[in-house]
Amino acid sequence: MLSYTTYDPLTEYVLRCADNNLILGHRISEWCGHGPVLEQDIALTNMALDLLGQSRMYLKYAAELIGHNETEDSLAFLRDAMQFRNSLLVEQPNGDFAHTIIRSLIFDSFHYFFTEQLMQSNDKRLADIATKSLKEITYHRKFSSEWTIRLGDGTEESNKRMQTAIDDLWRYKGELLSPDELDMEMLEKGIGVDLNKIEPLVDNHLSDMLNRATLQIPQAEFMQKGGKQGLHSEHLGYILAELQFMQRAYPGLNW
């Protein structure tokens, strides 16, 4: 089990990718059996599985980089909240279906262009993971985009709920696209993604979808941040209490 909260730069970067997918996958999995209709219940469950599968590839790579008998399971189930590197957006509660869709729209818009560029990484392992993941991520973006338009340009009630969701979650978008020292270091080494380059692509897609959905983009100037450095909201603690229960209650349990 890890007992420290900092890693070497490449491992930190890989964990950011892994943890975004792991935590959002867990969040979306909470809809299983509770979706608004059966078709969307199944779709959400499948997307959660996609994200989990992508996270496993990243976690396996991170475990190999760390060594010391770490595994993808120990990284998922035995780290504490401050050792997670996911963005704050993905740990936000599902709320109603509108909140889930807007959270996915923001993340999927980022995730698509991030992964598309990560395919060009000179780290072959990351490039391979990105290449394997892009088809699934493309579907995720299509799903959240279509539902944004359908609900935003739907009834008065659905439009109101979608606008409320945007107003609540927009403040978490900035962290995804704001490069810090690690992002810049990985970019300089040809490993990471140029967030400044993909930002206009993400913003253009979001603007297009929200305009088509007759929704207004908030004029918020302040953006929440900290998740990439291990500073999280209280929500992550509740997620981990559920996600990690079995391994912590029965240490070393094997299936």
Superfamily (CATH H level) for 9-249: Ferritin, core subunit, four-helix bundle (1.20.1260.10)
Chain segment 27-56, per-residue pLDDT in tens? 999 999 888 888 888 999 999 999 999 999
Name the pLDDT band for 252 (thresholds 50, 70, 90).
confident
Mean pLDDT of the chain: 94
Does residue 1 surpass a pLDDT of 50? no
Mean of the pLDDT values across residues 122-143?
98
Mean pLDDT computed over 63-68? 94
Two structure tokens written together for 209: 């979808």
pLDDT on residue 255: 60
Q: Over the stretch 66-98, which tens digit does the pLDDT of each residue have? A: 998 899 999 999 999 999 999 999 999 999 999
User: How deeply is 188 buried, as exposed, middle or buried, from its count of CB atoms within 10 A (0-12, 13-18, 19+)?
Assistant: exposed
pTM over 0.85: yes
pLDDT by residue (tens digit) across 185-229? 999 999 999 999 999 999 999 999 999 999 999 987 789 999 999
Task: List, for residues 92-123, the tens digit of each pLDDT value.
Answer: 999 999 999 999 999 999 999 999 999 999 99
Q: How far is the C-alpha of 102 from the C-alpha of 183, rounded, in Å?
A: 25
> Which residues have CB under 8 Å from 166's CB, separation 6+?
102, 210, 215, 216, 217, 218
pLDDT value for 5: 55
On the question of pLDDT at 4 being above 70, the answer is no
How many whole angstroms separate alpha carbon 231 and alpha carbon 191? 24
27-56 exposure pattern, b = at least 16 Cβ within 10 A, e = fewer = bbbebeeebeeeebeebbbebbebbbebbb
Domain ranges of the chain: 9-249
pLDDT at 2 over 50: no
Count CA atoms closer than 13 A to 227's CA, side-chain side: 28
Cα of 57 vs its chain's centroid, Å: 15
Helix 124-152, helix 156-169: angle, nearest 10: 140
pLDDT tens per residue, range 236-250:
999 999 999 988 888
